[in-house]
Structure 1
Amino acid sequence: MRQAKLPVDRNDVIAIARQAGQLTVEMQQRGLNTIRSKANAYDLVTEADVASEKLLAEKLTALDPAIGFWGEESNQPPDTELYWLVDPIDGTTNYASGVPWWAVNVALYRRTDPLLAVTLHLPYGEIFWAEAGGGAWRGWADGRVEQMRVSAAESLGAGLVGTGFPTHRGLHGDNNFREFVRISPLCRDVRRMGSAALDLAHVAAGIYSSFWEGFLNPWDVGAGLLLVQEAGGIVTDYAGNPYAFGAAGLVASNGLPGVHQVLLENIQAAREG
Structure 2
Amino acid sequence: MNDQQSNFAVGSKSFTAVAINCAAKAGEWIKTKLGNYTSLSLKYSAQDLVTEVDKGSETMIRNLVHTHFPNHSFLGEEGVEPGPEASEKALHRVRDEEYLWIVDPVDGTTNFVHGFPFFSVSIALAHKGEVIVGVVYDPIRDELFVAEKGKGAYVHGRRMEVAQEKALSDSLVATGFPADPHYARPMNMKGLNAMVPKVRNIRSGGSAALHMAYVAAGRLNGFWEIGLNAWDLAAGALLVKESGGTVTDTKGAPYDLGVRNVVATNGLIHDEMIGELDKAGAAG
Q: Does TM-score exceed 0.5, indicating one fold?
A: yes
1:55 corresponds to: 60
- Residue pair 1:4, 1:115 contacting (<8 A) in 2 also: no
1:142 corresponds to: none
One-letter amino acid of the structure 2 residue matched with residue 82 of structure 1: Y
Q: Distance in 1 between matches of 2:259 and 2:118?
A: 26
Give 1:268 shift.
0.8
Give 1:231 shift.
0.4
Tell me, what secondary structure is at the counterpart of 1:220? helix
Instruction: After TM superposition, list the pairs within 5 Å mapping 1:137-148 onto structure 2.
Output: 137-139=154-156, 145-148=157-160
Seen in structure 2, the aligned counterparts of structure 1 residues 159 and 192 have a Cα distance that, compared at 3 Å, is same
Q: Does 1:151 align with 2:157?
A: no
Quick check: 227-236 or 69-78, which moved more?
69-78
Instruction: After TM superposition, list the pairs within 5 Å mapping 1:1-273 onto structure 2.
Output: 4-7=6-9, 8-9=13-14, 10-29=16-35, 31-75=36-80, 77=91, 78=94, 80-139=97-156, 145-169=157-181, 171-172=182-183, 174-256=186-268, 259-271=269-281
Tell me, what secondary structure is at the counterpart of 1:105? strand
Seen in structure 2, the aligned counterparts of structure 1 residues 58 and 176 have a Cα distance that, compared at 3 Å, is same
Superimposed CA distance per residue, residues 208-265 of structure 1 (whole angstroms, 9 cap, x where no aligned partner): 1111101000000010110011001111111111123333410011111xx1111111
Q: TM-score, normalised on structure 2? A: 0.88
Give 1:272 shift.
6.4
- Residue pair 2:130, 2:256 contacting (<8 A) in 1 also: no
Q: Distance in 1 between matches of 2:74 and 2:171?
A: 37
- Residue pair 1:166, 1:175 contacting (<8 A) in 2 also: no
Quick check: 147-156 or 62-71, which moved more?
62-71
- Where structure 1 has 5 or more consecutive residues not aligned to the other structure, the ranges are 140-144
Seen in structure 2, the aligned counterparts of structure 1 residues 15 and 38 have a Cα distance that, compared at 3 Å, is same
Q: Distance in 2 between matches of 1:107 and 1:245?
A: 11
Tell me, what secondary structure is at the counterpart of 1:115? strand
Instruction: Report the aligned-residue RMSD.
Output: 2.0
One-letter amino acid of the structure 1 residue matched with residue 143 of structure 2: E
Equivalent pairs counted in the alignment come to 264
> How many percent of aligned residue pairs carry the same amino acid?
37
Q: Distance in 1 between matches of 2:166 and 2:179?
A: 32
Q: Distance in 2 between matches of 1:118 and 1:32?
A: 25
Tell me, what secondary structure is at the counterpart of 1:176? helix
Higher relative helix content: 2
- Residue pair 1:4, 1:131 contacting (<8 A) in 2 also: no
- Residue pair 1:101, 1:195 contacting (<8 A) in 2 also: yes
Tell me, what secondary structure is at the counterpart of 1:28? coil
- Where structure 2 has 5 or more consecutive residues not aligned to the other structure, the ranges are 81-89
- Residue pair 2:190, 2:282 contacting (<8 A) in 1 also: no
Superimposed CA distance per residue, residues 70-94 of structure 1 (whole angstroms, 9 cap, x where no aligned partner): 1110135546310110000000010
One-letter amino acid of the structure 2 residue matched with residue 183 of structure 1: M
- Residue pair 1:4, 1:133 contacting (<8 A) in 2 also: no
Q: Distance in 1 between matches of 2:73 and 2:236?
A: 20
Tell me, what secondary structure is at the counterpart of 1:59? helix
Q: TM-score, normalised on structure 1? A: 0.91
